[in-house]
């Protein structure tokens, strides 16, 4: 029996593509990618859906976690970023390349994707699809059943493993044809389109960008980006400030021995997690930021700093800062477009 590997994100398009191929008597192995930046509610739902649908459809699901290999793409994307920090074309090539390993392992003959021509900028336009085929060295072996009739014939079609007439000519962003097809196939419960990963979010992208240009892009640091307010105080030092009890606890728990913990000494207020090399000016600045978000009936307010290098916690009388002064250090307020140019220079050399 001919086998195929399907990129199975848990979204409707990948589900339809998989079903279309299965209905032609092909055995399908589904591959679901866990992207380090897919940590939002909708994408988690899609992952759960992929798992439960593969069980319902009786197909094997292989989960592949993208980690360092994905971070390397961000450091040096061959095809640059999308609107924010999303290297979609490189990301697709990476996923196809990884799926190819499963294809070899499972002795499958081709790869299936739910891509729809012109649905997304760049990566799903004809140019993008042909780049994906070329750079993954799988030209002719990537079948896209939802748009196959608008694309060149693939090897599985030429060899008669599948019937091209049973494929579709969907294109563009309109989702109606996919919804109609889902109804015809009896697929009624599927997650709403989740959009891209967190790298397409302009605020989140600026945080990631800050890690990128300071050479601090690690899996551990990415986890921290999901917490609190994010300040860059110097090239060597950043401060994360909790917004609520949950953030505060999480920041405290995530602190490494070399990190600095800032808390108001006698009042309610946020926890600050400081990472990097600190000097007295940065110490005062960080304390001033924590003080700004604290509610202290005690005057003067002191900020407690804990660090493994201190024999006992340090008490600092913070400088007084206005919101305008604080905002200057918020990563989200840093110019992004100019910075992206720098990324190209720094990382594409």
Which stretches of the chain bind ligand SF4, using CB under 6 A? 35, 86-88, 91-92, 196-197, 199-200
Shortest spacing between CB 349 and ligand SF4, in angstroms: 22
CA 121 and chain centroid, separation: 17
CA distance 278 to 238: 9
Q: Which residue number, 29 or 91, has a Cβ lying nearer to ligand SF4?
A: 91
DSSP class of residue 330 equals B
Q: How far is the CB of 200 from ligand SF4 (least distance, A)?
A: 5
Match 């649908």 to its residue by tokens: 53
Burial 160-191 (b: 16+ CB within 10 A, else e): ebbeeeebbebbeeeeebbeebbeeeebeebb
Rounded-to-10 torsion of CA 200, 141, 12, 59: -120
Nearest approach in angstroms of CB 70 to ligand SF4 is 8
Token pair 């199975």 in the structure block, residue: 8
Would you state the structure tokens that stand for residue 16, as one six-digit string? 């339809």
Q: Min. distance of Cβ 316 from ligand SF4 in angstroms?
A: 41
Q: Which residue is nearest to ligand SF4 (CB)?
A: 196
Q: How far is the CB of 46 from ligand SF4 (least distance, A)?
A: 11
What's the 3-state SS for 262-304? EEECCCECCCEEEEECCCHHHHHHHHHHHHHCCECCCCCCCEE
Nearer to ligand SF4, 62 or 197 (CB): 197
Q: Which is nearer to ligand SF4, 93 or 255 (CB)?
A: 93
Smallest gap from Cβ 168 to ligand SF4, in A, equals 22
Pairing between β-strand 110-112 and β-strand 142-143 as defined by DSSP bridges: parallel
CB nearer to ligand SF4: give 201 or 283: 201
26: buried, middle or exposed (CB in 10 Å: 19+, 13-18, 0-12)? Answer: buried
120/330 with CB nearer ligand SF4: 120
Which CB atom, from 119 or from 154, has the smaller least distance to ligand SF4?
119
**Rounded to the nearest whole angstrom, what is the least distance from the CB of residue 42 to ligand SF4 in the complex?**
12
Q: What token pair was written down for 40?
A: 């939002």
Is the CB of 2 or the CB of 51 nearer to ligand SF4?
51
């Amino acid at each position: 029996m001919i086998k195929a590997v399907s990129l199975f994100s848990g979204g409707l398009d990948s589900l339809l593509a998989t079903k279309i191929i299965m209905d032609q008597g092909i055995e399908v192995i589904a591959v679901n990618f866990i992207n380090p930046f897919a940590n939002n509610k909708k994408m988690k739902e899609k992952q759960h859906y992929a798992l439960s649908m593969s069980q319902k459809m009786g197909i094997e699901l292989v989960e592949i976690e993208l980690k360092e290999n994905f971070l390397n793409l961000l450091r040096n994307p061959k095809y640059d970023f999308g609107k924010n920090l999303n290297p979609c074309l490189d990301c697709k090539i990476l996923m196809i390349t990884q799926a190819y390993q499963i294809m070899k392992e499972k002795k499958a003959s081709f790869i299936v994707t739910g891509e729809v021509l012109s649905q997304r900028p760049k990566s799903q336009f004809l140019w993008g699809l042909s780049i994906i085929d070329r750079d993954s060295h799988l030209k002719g072996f990537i079948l896209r059943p939802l748009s196959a009739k608008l694309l060149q014939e693939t090897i599985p079609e030429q060899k008669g493993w599948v019937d091209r007439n049973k494929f579709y000519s969907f294109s563009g962003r309109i989702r109606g044809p996919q919804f109609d097809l889902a109804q015809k196939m009896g697929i009624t419960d599927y997650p709403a389109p989740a959009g891209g990963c967190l790298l397409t979010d302009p605020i989140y992208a600026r945080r990631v960008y800050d890690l990128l240009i300071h050479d601090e892009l690690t899996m551990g640091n990415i986890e921290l980006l999901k917490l609190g307010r994010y300040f860059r105080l110097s090239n060597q030092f950043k401060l994360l400030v909790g917004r609520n009890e949950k953030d505060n606890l999480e920041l405290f728990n995530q602190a490494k021995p070399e990190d600095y913990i800032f808390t108001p000494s006698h009042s309610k207020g946020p926890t600050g997690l400081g990472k990097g090399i600190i000097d007295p000016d940065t110490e005062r600045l960080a304390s001033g930021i924590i003080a700004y978000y604290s509610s202290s009936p005690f005057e003067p307010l002191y900020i407690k700093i804990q660090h493994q290098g201190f024999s006992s916690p340090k008490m600092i009388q913070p400088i007084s800062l206005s919101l305008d002064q604080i905002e200057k250090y918020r990563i989200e307020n840093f110019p992004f477009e100019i910075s992206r140019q720098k990324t190209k220079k720094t990382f594409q050399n």
